[in-house]
Chain A
Amino acid sequence: MYRILKKRVLNPSVILLAIEAPLIASKAQPGQFIILRINETGERIPLTIADYDRELGTVTIIFQVVGATTKLLAQMREGDMLADFVGPLGTASDLDGIKKAAVIGGGVGCAIAYPQAKELFRRGTSVDVITGFRNKDLIILNEEFKKVSTRYFCTTDDGSNGKKGFVSDVLKALIDEGTQYDAVIAIGPLIMMKVVSEVTRPYHIKTIISMNPIMIDGTGMCGGCRVTVGGETKFACVDGPDFDGHLVDFDEAIRRSKMYAGQERERSNHMDCRLMKGVQ
């Protein structure tokens, strides 16, 4: 069992949990993920590691409430136990040799972009952070990003905070201004990562994206997380989750992400009923 040591509600639908998992904390690297299962009847879900503290032995995850499992996870409190928590899985991000980077986070993807920015900044890299949210109420990790960036741009789709528009617009403007990036790291919704990859493609800027597909084991066993990269099938769990954004077949990935959308809605509604019962 794995104890929840800390819980923070970052915005109405995004929650941070710090989990006691010293073995994983001692090994975790930016870009890697864990798989958790809440209880005996639960499903295994992958979540990218948002932060880790080797001394405290904790691993931080940040997730958005999107379906039944995340809904239940959001109900858990400090001191509660998770049945299973395994990792660190996947290949760590390759950040070597990057002198100037743009780190881009979209929505809850910022949780995953954060450790990348933090690590790059620690290495002395010049880091421009660009984050994007639908509106100002959804902004997360604002203060944290300020501490690990050379320049920080926070956009909202509706202009309720910072610049109105999309992260890709800001990135394009920075590139057009003459900023020379060794690499762009983009993490967020598939469509955002696709658009960012299209922005950087004509400039031949190395673009690293992070996939978060449906998977079960996270060790290469199920093959459910397959993604087409440069015409070849890769397993995101072991070959990734980071891939070259210019080579990923995003359209296929978007289709595959909807595999259980119908069942997910049903289960999510059921979960609402169960949670309501729990409250009464």
Chain B
Amino acid sequence: MSVSAKKIQMPVQDAKVRRNNFNEVTLGYTAEMAVEEAQRCLNCKNSPCVKGCPVNVQIPDFIRYIKNSEFEKAYQTIHETNSLPAVCGRVCPQETQCEGNCVCGIKGEPVAIGRLERFVADYHMQHAVEEKEPAKITGTKVAVVGAGPSGLTCAGELAKKGYAVTIFEALHRPGGVLIYGIPEFRLPKKKVADEIDNLIKMGVQIRTNVVIGKTITVDELFEQGFRAVFVGSGAGYPSFMNIEGENLNGVYSANEYLTRINLMKAYKPDHETPILKGKKVAVIGGGNVAMDAARSALRIGAETVYIIYRRSLKEMPARMEEIEHAKEEGVQFRLLTNPIRFIGDKDGWLTGAECIKMELGEPDESGRSRPVPQKGSEFVLEIDTAIIAVGTSPNPLVHKTTQGIKVNKRGCILVSEESGATSREGIYAGGDAVTGAATVILAMGAGKKAALAMDRYLNEKAAK
């Protein structure tokens, strides 16, 4: 049987239709498609794909089960190492991880590992009737700060080992960036809620509306009998550009814009949270968050949406798939362009952005070409809404209120590479709080690694 050099295409909503709704853009494989795609896997002996996965999902194994239509077994194989498969199948940058290492990718397209993972996770959620018995809770109390990808993963791993895990979440709903950041059309919130329900069934307790550092401090957690603490407080602190006019009405951080839409459902008429429905919107930045903001702006009624990015398409940190989707939906890319000030009317409302054209110069510390402004190329872009998506940094609340946690000059918590241990005994950290803004899967990998180290630490302590 000849095997196709290309992935089986995944059905998607038509761009003209989807730009007006928040339903998921990609529709997922059918069972037939999944089996057919699974046939493309060569089942390589040394499994380079697994080495590309931050949580070491046993990829050839689960794909083998798909080939035999044993979808639930495939799910169990993934779930052994990955607590959030429905999420990872959708938002992981597979092209630089598992699929980036796939041997099929050398001559043709790699096996669609992400799509297969997503299919298996969705299949499980639709068909699984009986949950596994929850692991035996040993009673040793462990606290997790933040219910985002790293915290949820850490909690899941610790619960599997029988710890009594409590997650403390500052917002009113668990999920972290999966809930407030990534839009419904890319990651349905029902999928996130289902994954979190799985954790609760495993015995994990989640306490929302608790801000660690304010409502309770880390020291008080130890006083309350928690024996170890994992800090996964994320990188939720938005960066601004520090240019003139940034506080005009109509200028948002991407965090605020996306939180209003995703967490607070400002786009739904029956929800109370307001949002400015701009007609001409500019999103500043070139990452996945910028794409999410731009595509959300279209969906709440913008007529024109620009992505303004100071480098070229090649340097854009967003996933190619997201860039393609944004283009298909009509987002206009203004590359090699940077805003230098925002312009407002007399009442303080944004009316435009003065931009300057950039040229790429020598590579900078990040290895990417440094953008250099071209004198005299300034022009004004007429806009009524601007969304700043130029990055975020770790939230300082936890380390500022906890003695003995060392951070670097960017505010990232310093940890041991192997274990996630911070400079203070019993406290571990991972995810964006350690790395600065990165990916969901890297945060999950860090949460998992820390869970294993916390288990070792607690065992050693108990043995003493």
Contacts and interface: CB of A to CB of B under 8 A. Distances in A.
Interface string B260-272: 1001110010111
Contacts of B348: 252, 255-256
B283 to A, nearest CB: 15
Interface in B245-279: 246-247, 249, 252-253, 255-256, 259-260, 263-265, 268, 270-274, 276
B171 interface: yes
Contacts of B171: 217
B259 A86 contact: no
B287 interface: no
A246 interface: no
Interface stretch (B47-55, B206-214, B295-303): B206-214
Given A44-B264, A89-B211, A223-B255, A255 B237 contact: no
Interface in A151-184: none
A41 B180 CA distance: 15
Contact of B247 (A43, A88, A233): A233
B397 A228 contact: no
Interface string A118-148: 0000000000000000000000000000000
Contacts of B347: 255
Interface in B180-233: 180, 208-211, 214-216
A41 B348 CA distance: 30
A252 B180 CA distance: 28
B397 A220 contact: yes
Interface residues of B, number: 40
A185 B170 CA distance: 30
Interface string A220-246: 111110111000010000100000000
Chief secondary structure at chain B's binding surface: loop
Nearest to B246: A233
A68 B270 CA distance: 12
B256 A43 contact: no
B274 A84 contact: no
A196 B257 CA distance: 34
A263 interface: yes
A5 interface: no
Contact of A86 (B172, B272, B274): B172
A84 B270 contact: no
Give the one of B171, B237, B253, B397 with max A CB within 10 A: B171
A259 interface: yes
Contacts of A89: 211, 214
A252 B342 CA distance: 14
B236 interface: yes
Nearest to B349: A255
A223 B211 contact: no
Contact count band on A:
35 or more
A43 B260 CA distance: 9
Contact of A228 (B216, B236, B247, B249): B247
A41 B274 contact: no
A86 B172 CA distance: 8
B242 interface: yes
A259 B276 contact: yes
Contact of A221 (B238, B242, B276): B238
A255 B249 contact: yes
Contact of B209 (A85, A223, A259): A85
Interface string A97-113: 00000000000000000
A85 to B, nearest CB: 7
Contact of A238 (B209, B215, B252, B397): B397
A79 interface: no
Contacts of A216: 256, 259-260, 263-264, 273
Contact of A224 (B180, B214, B216, B256): B256
A80 B423 CA distance: 45
A27 interface: yes
A220 B236 contact: yes
Contacts of A233: 240, 242, 246-247
A225 B115 CA distance: 40
A68 B271 CA distance: 11
Contact of B253 (A37, A222, A227, A260): A222
A221 B247 contact: no
Contact of B172 (A83, A223, A263): A83
Contacts of A23: 210, 215-216
Contacts of B271: 41, 43
Contacts of B246: 233
A267 interface: yes
A84 B174 CA distance: 13
A149 B255 CA distance: 43
A93 interface: no
B395 interface: yes
Contacts of A263: 274
A8 interface: no
Nearest to B172: A84
Interface string A55-68: 00000000000001
B215 A27 contact: yes
Given A219-B395, A221-B237, A223-B238, A84 B208 contact: yes
Give the one of A27, A69, A217, A256 with max B CB within 10 A: A217
B217 to A, nearest CB: 9
Contacts of B270: 41
B215 A223 contact: no
15 contacts: A24-B215, A37-B172, A44-B273, A68-B272, A69-B272, A87-B211, A216-B259, A219-B170, A220-B236, A220-B397, A223-B255, A238-B397, A255-B249, A255-B348, A256-B249
Given A27-B214, A69-B272, A86-B211, 19 more contacts: A43-B271, A44-B273, A85-B209, A86-B215, A87-B211, A87-B215, A216-B259, A216-B260, A216-B264, A219-B397, A220-B395, A221-B180, A222-B259, A223-B252, A223-B255, A223-B256, A226-B240, A233-B247, A255-B348
Interface of B: 170-172, 180, 208-211, 214-216, 236-238, 240, 242, 246-247, 249, 252-253, 255-256, 259-260, 263-265, 268, 270-274, 276, 347-348, 395-397
